[in-house]
Structure 1
Amino acid sequence: MNKSKLWTKDFISISLSNFFVFFTFYILLVTLPSYALDDLHSSASQAGLMSTIFLLSAIISRPLAGQWLERAGNKKVLLTAMIVFTGASIFYLFPKTIGGFLLVRLLHGVGFGMATTAVGAIVADIIPSSRRGEGMGYFVLSTNMAMVLGPFIGLMAIQKWGPHIMFTLALIIAMGSLITSLSVKVKKAEEPKQIEVLSTFSFRSLIEPSAVPISTVGGFMAIAYSSLLSFVTIYAAQIHLASVSSIFFVVYAIVMLISRPFTGKCLDQFGPNYITYPCILLFAIGMFVLSHATGAATFLLAAGLIGIGWGTLFPTFQTIAIQNAEPRKRGLATATFLSIFDTGMAMGSFVVGMMAAKMDYSSLYSLFSFYIVAGAVLFYLFYTRNRKKNTSIKKEQQSRVQEI
């Protein structure tokens, strides 16, 4: 039997669009706080609001975007989102006050939330169902590559050429997301029907219930992952490894890229249980090794273990969230997953910051290695056990039908 084709023009285009969105996001994420402090002479708390307001507007806009996907269709929401995202990128060139920049961040966060929700829903329709685990793994890799390149390019641009060039570069990259999204085709069969959802609006209509359990697991794990994004560079400097801290996420991405074909195919062939529990263990071991790193070798070994562990868990959780939803609810399932995940990231940055003020980073990462293991218990309770119940119920129903 011929294998369903994965690497189509539409899959490549939507993955590139996602890459450009996150590339822009990471360029600004690492440069705006220092720009606010150095050029706008803001306080540290005002500089921190740059990220907080962006994430809050993204979290709020995602459920709305998920419902709009049902109403207006994937392609319309995608193009609208990319126009808002790219348009907001233009405004970074003009404000001269912290208040003006916070307004731009608010608008940009709305575009980001809409764009990532629409892209996630469309790629779920483009990927063949028989290769969804493998396809989602490659798709999420576009986010990870942006995470590696964005901070590097952003810091280099603002340090060598100044903030105006950096903002111009971010705008050009954002335009790439709009251009690549124009070529994505959504089949007519995938367009949602104009059903009664148009006349109903409630909190329940903003979330997809089937995606909540696995999204909760993802948000729980995101708290641990946020400690890496926020503090691994500072930790590296404290243990006298600042010279190799810049390649931590490079090693993370390379190992993830090498492992992706195997982990994705394993998910499709054997199911989530066979891939999730080993990857939770690898993630925990990687965090434990990081907490005891004394040289470049152990520091980068931790990056590799985390790259396989967390780098596989995130697309696995997102795949489960999408597969559990009805086809027309995939956009809402994507929005639910990303909203809860980002909430975990936002909570993690705040909680980890408070913890870091009271303990050293080595103890912090050691503690998180045990926290991650607790995530395996949560996965069992929220996914594995429920799946076993559903399977047993189906078997009972089939046996009754056969008896009749």
Structure 2
Amino acid sequence: MKQTKLWTKDFIIMSSASFFISLVYFLLVTTLAVYAIEQFNASESMAGLAASIFVIGAVFSRLFTGRYMETIGRQKVLFAGLFLFLAATLLYFTVTNLYLLLFIRFIHGSAFGISTTALATVLMDIIPKERRGEGIGYFSLSSTLATSIGPFLGLYISQHADFSMIFIVCTILSMMSVIISLFLKIPRTVLTDDQHHSLKGFKLSNFFEKKAVPISIMITIMGFVYSGILSFISAYATEINLIEAASFFFLVYSIVLLISRPITGKLLDKKGDNFVVYPAILSFATGLLILSQSYNSFTLLLASAFIALGFGTMQSCFQVIAIKEAPQHRIGLATSTFLICMDLGVGMGPFLLGSLIPLFGFRGVYLMSAIVVFLCIFLYFSLHGKKTAKQKMYSQAS
């Protein structure tokens, strides 16, 4: 049986646009705190807010993007997000004080939330249904690459040029995302009168997709735990004298994902959700356990590989599950629900886990995180795994 084509022109354009947008995000998130301190004498907490308020803006805009995308039109929402993202990037050149910087970061984050939610939703119309796991696996590699390249590029530019050059590069990247997206052919979604009516009003169901909530709870917890790695791996590596190895941590993470994502995506499509998710949870827990007991470079980087196979796999697979559970006309809401929950987990994690480090130390926090992730096997079973197993049993019986 011939496979439906995945690598179409539109798929490549959307993956590229996602890469450029994510690159801007990661490039700025590694440099904005330093910029706020050096340019405006900001305190460390205010400098941290300058970096994190971006995520607050993204969560805020995702609430409304999923709700209005189907009624306004996916194409209009996508281009509104992309043009606002470009406009916000240009506004960095006008910053004269810290409060203006915070305002622009919030607007920029809002534009990021709109454009990434719209991209992920439109993608579902382009990817063949029977290859969604594989398609999202490939698509999400764009942000994975940006995770490695963005921070490196940001640090390199800040060492060899001033902050204006960083904003120039971000402007160019933002313009590229807009220009290539002009060549997209976005399928038009036609709603029935009943579907259109169901999306009216300010009901909670018009901001969140109920069927996507169970798996979104899982990504909230996993994102919460993963944020402890993002935020504290450098400090932990300094404490255990593995600073050099830590500089390769996310490089190894990205390489493993580049190799594994296409494979795990295909397995999700062919073998089902449980076949991929249970090993991924175990891999994430194993990686955290190894990380908590790392005493040399090999174990630290081995932990990175297991974490990539764990959290990295779940990130794309859970998104597929969230979308599969939702009706066609509510895919936008399912996408925004999933991304909001992931953002909340990643956003809350550093503050709450950071408060535990003085009490239990880095090793203790990572060990407790491993236990939490392992126990999520039972949570996943109750939220989704049990239902999936029954569906597979019935389909085999029939």
TM-score range, shorter chain: over 0.9
Alignment of 1:264-279 (within 5 A): 264-279=265-280
Q: TM-score, normalised by structure 2?
A: 0.95
CA RMSD, 1 decimal: 1.8
State the TM-score, normalizing by the size of structure 1. 0.94
Q: Secondary structure of 2:360's match? A: coil
1:16-47 CA-to-partner distances (Å, cap 9, x unmatched) read 11111111111111111111112210111211
Q: Secondary structure at the match of 1:7?
A: coil
In the other structure, the counterpart of 2:120 is 120
CA contact (8 A) 1:73 1:191 kept: no
Report the equivalent of 1:382: 383
Residue equivalent to 1:104: 104
Residue aligning to 1:309: 310
Q: Which whole-Å CA distance do the structure 1 matches of 2:270 and 2:117 have between them?
A: 27
What is the Cα deviation at residue 198 of structure 1?
Answer: 6.3
Question: Gaps (5+ residues) in structure 2?
Answer: none
Deviations 1:262-283 (A, max 9, x none): 2111100110101000011111
Percent sequence identity is 38
Distance 2:92 2:327 in 1: 39
Asked if 2 retains the 8 angstrom alpha-carbon contact of 1:71 and 1:197, the reply is no
Q: Distance between the aligned counterparts of 2:150 and 2:18, measured in 1? A: 13
What is the match of residue 185 of structure 2? Answer: 185
CA contact (8 A) 1:121 1:331 kept: yes
Q: For residues 225-304 of structure 1, what are the structure 2 equivalents within 5 Å?
A: 225-304=226-305
Q: CA-to-partner distance for each residue in 1:41-74, whole Å, 9 max, x for gaps?
A: 0111211211332211211110211122111221
In the alignment, the residues of structure 1 paired with residue 392 and residue 4 of structure 2 have an alpha-carbon distance, to the nearest angstrom, of 27
Which residue of 1 is the match for residue 5 of structure 2? 5
Q: CA deviation at 1:389?
A: 6.2
The AA in structure 2 aligned to 1:51 is A
Note the C-alpha offset of 1:390: 6.6
User: Equivalent residue for 1:48?
Assistant: 48
For the structure 1 residues 28 and 191, does the alpha-carbon distance in structure 2 shift closer, same or farther, using more than 3 Å as the test? Answer: farther
Matched, 1:216 2:222: no
1:133 deviation in Å? 0.5
Q: Which runs of 4+ in 1 moved over 3 A?
A: 190-194, 386-392
User: Aligned letter for 1:10?
Assistant: D
Could you tell me how far 1:146 is from its partner in structure 2? 0.6
User: CA offset at residue 377 of structure 1?
Assistant: 1.5
Q: CA deviation at 1:157?
A: 0.9
**Counterpart in the other structure of 2:64:** 64
Distance 1:202 1:371, change over 3 A: same
- Give the number of aligned pairs: 395
Correspondence 1:367 to 2:376: no
Letter in 2 for 1:74: R
Amino acid at match of 1:9: K
8 Å contact kept, 2:118–2:332: yes
Distance 1:323 1:152 in 2: 36
Using a 3 Å threshold, how does the CA distance of structure 1 residues 191 and 238 change in structure 2: closer, same or farther? farther
| Range 208-217 or range 303-312, more displaced | 303-312
Residues 138 and 260, structure 1, Cα contact 8 Å, conserved in 2:
yes
Counterpart CA distance in 2 for 1:223 and 1:81 is: 26
